[in-house]
Chains A and B, each alone.
Chain A
Amino acid sequence: MTGDRPGVAGWCARGAVMVAVAGLVLFVPTLRNNVEVHIYTQAVIYAIIGLSLNVLLGYTGQISLGHQAFVGIGAFTSAYMVTVHGQPFVAAVGMAMVVGGVQALVLGAVSLRITGLYFALVTLAYGTMAEESLFNIQKLTGGSAGQAAPKPTWFTTDLRYYYLCLAFLAAVVWVDWRLMKTKGGRALLALRENPRVAATYGADVKAYTLMAFVVAGVFAGLGGALLAHNDTFVVRDLFNFQLALVFVIMTVVGGLRNRTGVVVGSAFFALVGYFFDKLFGHGLSVPGLKVLPKEYAPIVIGPMLLLFTLTRHPGGVGQQIRPVQRWLRGGRFSFKDTHDAEVRVSDVRA
């Protein structure tokens, strides 16, 4: 990006856009009611979960169809620590991250032996197994009645909790950014494409695969814990396979290996149900069909966007916003290079 740097006016325009985005994220929620802020918080948490899945799907190329279990275990661990053991929020969230990392490590050990479609099946089985067994442990989950998960002391209002989650998202983005800018991330990208080359470059392929799983598990555990305290109540029915599908779709549609894209895509899928409901009142009634409840909006819109992503824009939202990102960094605005295939469709296939 040499030559023609923007002038003062150019930088002012770029600054204005960035301030507008920051304002949207930081101040708009102060103007909205609690119900809506609650949804926004969910969008922030989904972004964390999307980044978690991006570590697996994007960086190591392993698909997880059991991510609802990763997230759910984090949620129940945190709720259990706070409600049953009376632990403070920080300790509970920390525990959720540890448990998330450990269970991901176990699954990572499996992935060293099995990859691709068969590994996807293992994660699918793991998710279902967790739903049927772990989430039925009365003590941990409160059974079908659910487990209470009160908000932390200083963050009892929805708005404050929103900012807390935003801070956690910022931390996750930071870790993800630094990971990919340093040797660990480079080793991951190398081993996804060519493990033999990664090994000759001196990277321990097994150790880094496991590390990716642990990082993804820790992020997912964190996401789950935050989700639990956002709802102040967790029920096991929330963590079904449909949720795992939404997680995968939002990550792919967001754009693999593109941090901003994944955040935007995940937030979109968290919000789509609510705004779908707002737009169409009491669900979309198609003549001859029953009314479609809002919970199904992501599952209906998701595959359409997924199809569009896979066939037209393999880089997802990340690819679509790249001209804007380039412009914000001081480059010229142009739609050229948008098609440079950093993400290929084959990356997405398990």
Chain B
Amino acid sequence: MSVLEVQGCSIRFGGVQAAHDVSLRAGEWEIVGVIGPNGAGKTTTFNVITGFYRPDSGRVWFKGRDITRLAVHERTALGMGRTFQNVGLVKSSTVRENLLTAQHLEAGYSTLAGMVGLPSTFAAERRLRERAEALAGILGLSDLLDTRVAGLPYGVLKRVELGAVLATDPDLLLLDEPTSGMGPEEAHAFGATLLELRREFDLTVVMIEHHVPLVAQVCDYVYCLNFGELLAEGTPDEVRANPEVIRAYLGQEAEEVLHEEPGVRGVPGGVGA
């Protein structure tokens, strides 16, 4: 059974067709990559999957359930977790507070019970704190627990964000450019971490990624988007060899220029336009 299934989702913002008839699926335990040039509709697709956008047409299925009309927090409750391209954390809080906040649905008591201060909530809070510390240990954040998020370097923020998402206890992890700002070696190390986390937390992963070596290293299946449409899909090697994909990345003009007569090559504005 597939964990996630997007069926022909389209969404339009004014005159821009941000996604058109996008379909993709992720089976249990799979790591699925979503690639494509800037503005291809990758993050839009993520927003449709996580519920920030409601598609104009098409459906989203999660664990055999139609979730197209569910709100973001309801999807989180079903076991969907996501990270953001520009780091989604409560910046004015500490790492510990973020890991606690992310366990919102794991608390096991009602907000009212917490407010009134029932004795059981004190014990529950202790459990949440222990779990936050354990998670921080796994991700190597133990020394930073009481540091305010706002001052941390970008790479660390990405790790904190991953910790926060894991704290929501997801079955499906949607990662939006988890290695942005990382060098090739860090990206490679992240791949190993990801495989480790999948095993430890029983995860299915869908990730938007630009590091091609990382995609080839960890992904079981890859979808390539361009101008809001699905351009190609297949194993990483198949997609990498697909001429359409190459053209999408290098640009139509580049392709033309490469095949034109030598004399036309000098036309200004061709490649970069």
Interface residues of A (CB under 8 A from B): 174-175, 177-179, 181-187, 189-190, 193-194, 196-205, 208, 211, 215, 340, 342
Contacts and interface: CB of A to CB of B under 8 A. Distances in A.
Nearest to B174: A200
B88 interface: yes
Nearest to B77: A202
A55 B103 CA distance: 22
B115 A175 contact: yes
Contacts of B100: 186
B92 A183 contact: no
A182 B109 contact: yes
Contact of A183 (B73, B84, B104, B117): B104
Contacts of B121: 178, 182
Given A202-B105, A202-B168, A184 B111 contact: yes
A175 to B, nearest CB: 6
A76 B102 CA distance: 42
A186 B101 contact: yes
B249 to A, nearest CB: 29
Contacts of A190: 90, 93, 101
Contact of A197 (B88, B111, B125): B88
- Kindly name the residue among B50, B92, B115, B116 whose own CB sees the greatest number of chain A CB atoms within 10 A: B115
Contacts of A203: 73, 101, 104
Given A182-B125, A199-B73, A201-B76, A342 B92 contact: yes
Interface string B89-101: 1111100010011
Given A182-B115, A189-B101, A200 B92 contact: no
- Kindly name the residue among A178, A182, A187 whose own CB sees the greatest number of chain B CB atoms within 10 A: A182
A107 to B, nearest CB: 20
A182 B107 contact: yes
A202 B90 contact: no
5 contacts: A179-B115, A185-B114, A193-B91, A200-B165, A202-B77
Interface in B71-85: 71-73, 76-77, 81-82, 84
B164 interface: yes
Contact of B81 (A184, A189, A200): A200
